[in-house]
Chains A and B, each alone.
Chain A
Amino acid sequence: MADLRINLAGIKSPNPFWLASAPPTNSGYQVQRAFEAGWGGAVWKTLGDPILNVTSRFAAIGFNGQRVAGFNNIELITDRPLDVNLKEIYETKKKFPNHAIIASLMVEPKQEKWHEIVKRVEDVGVDGLELNFGCPHGMAERGMGSASGQVPALVERQTYWAKEVAKTPVIVKLTPNITDITATAEAACNGGADAISMINTINSLMGVDLDSWNTIPHVAGKGAHGGYCGPAVKPIALNMVAECARHPHINVPISGIGGISNWRDAVEFMLMGATGVQVCTAAMHHGFRIVEDMIDGLNNYLDSKGIAAVSDIIGKSVPKYSDWGNLDLNHNIVAKINPDVCINCNKCHIACEDTSHQCIDMLTDVNGKSYLKVREEDCVGCNLCSIVCPVDGAIDMIEAPRELAPMTWNDRQTALSVAVECKADVAK
Chain B
Amino acid sequence: MAIEKMQRISLSNLERNFQEVEPGLTNQEAVEESNRCLYCYDAPCIKACPTGIDIPTFIKKIASGNFLGSAKTIMSSNPVGASCARVCPTEELCEGACVLNASTKPIMIGNLQRYATDWAIQNEQTLFKPGESNGQTVAVIGGGPAGLSAARELARFGYDVTIFEGAEKAGGLNTYGIVSFRLPQKISYWEVEQVEKMNVKIRTNTMVGRDISAEEITNNFDRVVLAVGMAHVPNLGIEGENLDGVFDAIEFVKATKDGELSYDYQGKRVVVIGAGNTAIDGATCSVRLGAENVKILYRRTEEEMTAYDFEYEFAKQDGVEFRWLTAPKRIIGDENGKVTGIECIKMELGEPEKDGRPRPVAIEGSEHVLAVDAVIKAIGQTRYVNLIEQFGLTHEGGVVKVDKDTLKTSNPKIFACGDVIFGKGKGDAMVVTAAQQGKDVAYAIHQQFTVVGTA
Contact = CB atoms under 8 A, between A and B. Distances in A.
Interface of A: 64-65, 343-347, 349-350, 362, 390-391
Contacts of A65: 31-32, 34-35, 63
A347 B32 contact: no
B352 to A, nearest CB: 28
A347 B35 contact: no
B100 interface: yes
Interface centre among B31, B99, B100, by most chain A C-beta atoms within 10 angstroms, is B99
Contact of B41 (A64, A345, A391): A345
B44 A344 contact: yes
Contacts of B43: 345-346
Nearest to A64: B35
A343 B99 contact: yes
Contact of A345 (B31, B34, B35, B38): B38
A206 B276 CA distance: 56
B117 to A, nearest CB: 21
Contacts of B102: 343-344
B105 to A, nearest CB: 12
Given A65-B31, A65-B35, A343 B100 contact: yes
Interface in B39-59: 39-44
A349 B103 CA distance: 19
Given A343-B102, A343-B103, A349 B38 contact: no
A345 B46 CA distance: 12
A343 B38 CA distance: 11
Contacts of B40: 344-347
A346 B103 contact: no
Given A64-B63, A65-B31, A65-B32, A347 B39 contact: yes
Given A65-B32, A346-B40, A349-B42, 18 more contacts: A65-B31, A65-B34, A65-B63, A344-B44, A344-B99, A345-B38, A345-B40, A345-B41, A345-B99, A346-B42, A347-B38, A347-B39, A347-B41, A349-B41, A350-B42, A362-B42, A390-B103, A391-B103
Contact of A390 (B32, B34, B38, B63): B38
A347 B42 CA distance: 9
| Closest CB pairs A-B (n = 5) | A350-B41, A346-B41, A65-B35, A64-B35, A345-B40
B104 to A, nearest CB: 9
A346 B56 CA distance: 13
- Which label, helix, strand, loop or mixed, suits the secondary structure of the A interface? loop
A391 B99 CA distance: 11
Contacts of B44: 344
A350 to B, nearest CB: 4
Interface of B: 31-32, 34-35, 38-44, 63, 99-100, 102-103
Contacts of B38: 345, 347, 390
A162 B375 CA distance: 94
Contacts of A64: 35, 63
Contacts of B35: 64-65
A358 to B, nearest CB: 14
Contacts, number: 36
6 contacts: A64-B35, A65-B31, A343-B100, A347-B41, A349-B42, A350-B42
A64 B28 CA distance: 11
Contacts of B100: 343
Contacts of B32: 65
A39 to B, nearest CB: 31
Interface centre among A345, A346, A350, by most chain B C-beta atoms within 10 angstroms, is A345
Nearest to A210: B65
A328 to B, nearest CB: 33
Nearest to B28: A65
B172 to A, nearest CB: 36
A57 B61 CA distance: 31
A362 B44 CA distance: 13
A292 B211 CA distance: 79
A65 B35 CA distance: 7
Contacts of B63: 64-65
A396 to B, nearest CB: 17
A70 to B, nearest CB: 17
B63 to A, nearest CB: 7
A395 to B, nearest CB: 13
A108 B102 CA distance: 61
Interface centre among A64, A65, A350, A362, by most chain B C-beta atoms within 10 angstroms, is A65
Contacts of A346: 40-43
B71 to A, nearest CB: 19
A372 B41 CA distance: 12
B107 to A, nearest CB: 11
A350 B32 CA distance: 24
B98 to A, nearest CB: 9
A369 B142 CA distance: 40
Contacts of A347: 38-41
Nearest to B101: A343
B15 to A, nearest CB: 36
A118 B424 CA distance: 91
Contacts of A350: 41-42
Nearest to A354: B41
A122 to B, nearest CB: 50
Contacts of B34: 65
A345 B106 CA distance: 12
Contacts of B103: 343, 390-391
B95 to A, nearest CB: 14
A347 B39 CA distance: 8
Contacts of A362: 42
Contacts of B99: 343-345
A425 B102 CA distance: 67
Contacts of A390: 38, 103
A344 B40 CA distance: 8
A347 B63 CA distance: 18
Nearest to A391: B103
A390 B44 CA distance: 16
Contacts of A349: 41-42
A343 B107 CA distance: 14
Contacts of B42: 346, 349-350, 362
A190 to B, nearest CB: 49
A343 B103 CA distance: 7
A65 B102 CA distance: 23
Nearest to A349: B41
A293 to B, nearest CB: 23
A346 B45 CA distance: 13
B215 to A, nearest CB: 49
Nearest to A63: B35
A349 B43 CA distance: 12
Nearest to B39: A347
A198 to B, nearest CB: 33
A167 to B, nearest CB: 53
A3 B119 CA distance: 57
B439 to A, nearest CB: 26
Interface centre among B31, B38, B63, by most chain A C-beta atoms within 10 angstroms, is B38
Contacts of A345: 38, 40-41, 43, 99
A135 B4 CA distance: 59
A113 B100 CA distance: 62
Nearest to B42: A346
B231 to A, nearest CB: 40
A349 B42 CA distance: 10
Interface centre among B39, B41, B43, B63, by most chain A C-beta atoms within 10 angstroms, is B41
Contacts of B41: 345-347, 349-350
